[in-house]
């Protein structure tokens, strides 16, 4: 976690992807909000989630953080380790730590936002064992595509309105 690129990614407000081992042998991968401490990565989730069921059988997980742009302007880290599931009163401050990174305090006053956030009743602490990093932002290919404008833009999906 001391690697400068890992620190850069942890400081950014990104959506990470958590991958766990499903009891059937498949990999279960889901996007998640996160926060960090000196020793672990913190994720907030519902005790009813599939990822929790997976972690109750196998505590190994990998969290992928990336900041990917068009062309070769990509960097990221794949952080593998074991997850501790934190329940009850001990989970509250950790869950709040994650929510505060992504949701403005005034937005939490909205009943629908508060109800959604309340479904996160436990915290996951991923304690890293190893990290694999990649950073192509300064590569000659990235520079060439950036300079020429030859990288096709990434296209986000449209927001869904209720």
The domain spans of the chain are 4-144
CATH code, 4-144: 2.30.110.10
Tens digit of each residue's pLDDT (9 = 90 or more) over 102-118? 999 999 999 999 999 99
Residue 65 to residue 33: CA distance in whole angstroms: 10
Give the pLDDT of residue 4.
Answer: 94
Q: How far is CA 142 from CA 39, 78, 117, 145, 156, in A?
A: 33, 21, 39, 5, 21
With CA atoms as reference, report the closest residue to 63 among 45, 80, 50: 80
Tens digit of each residue's pLDDT (9 = 90 or more) over 70-112? 888 999 999 999 999 999 999 999 999 999 999 999 999 999 9
Radius of gyration of the chain (CA): 17
């Amino acid at each position: 976690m001391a690697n400068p690129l890992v620190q850069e990614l942890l400081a950014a407000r990104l959506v990470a992807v958590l991958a766990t081992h499903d009891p059937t042998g498949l990999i279960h991968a889901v996007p998640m909000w996160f926060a960090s401490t000196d020793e672990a990565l913190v994720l907030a989730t519902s005790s009813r989630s599939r990822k929790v069921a997976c972690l109750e059988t196998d505590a190994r997980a990998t969290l992928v953080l990336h900041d990917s742009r068009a062309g070769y302007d990509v960097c990221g880290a794949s952080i593998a380790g074991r997850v501790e599931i934190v329940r009850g009163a001990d989970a509250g401050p950790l869950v709040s730590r994650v929510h505060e990174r992504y949701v403005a305090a005034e937005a939490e006053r909205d009943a629908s936002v508060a109800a959604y956030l309340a479904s996160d009743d436990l915290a996951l602490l991923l304690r890293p064992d190893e990290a694999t990093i990649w950073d192509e932002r300064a590569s000659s290919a990235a520079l060439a595509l950036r300079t020429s404008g030859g990288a096709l833009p990434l296209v986000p999906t449209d927001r869904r309105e209720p």
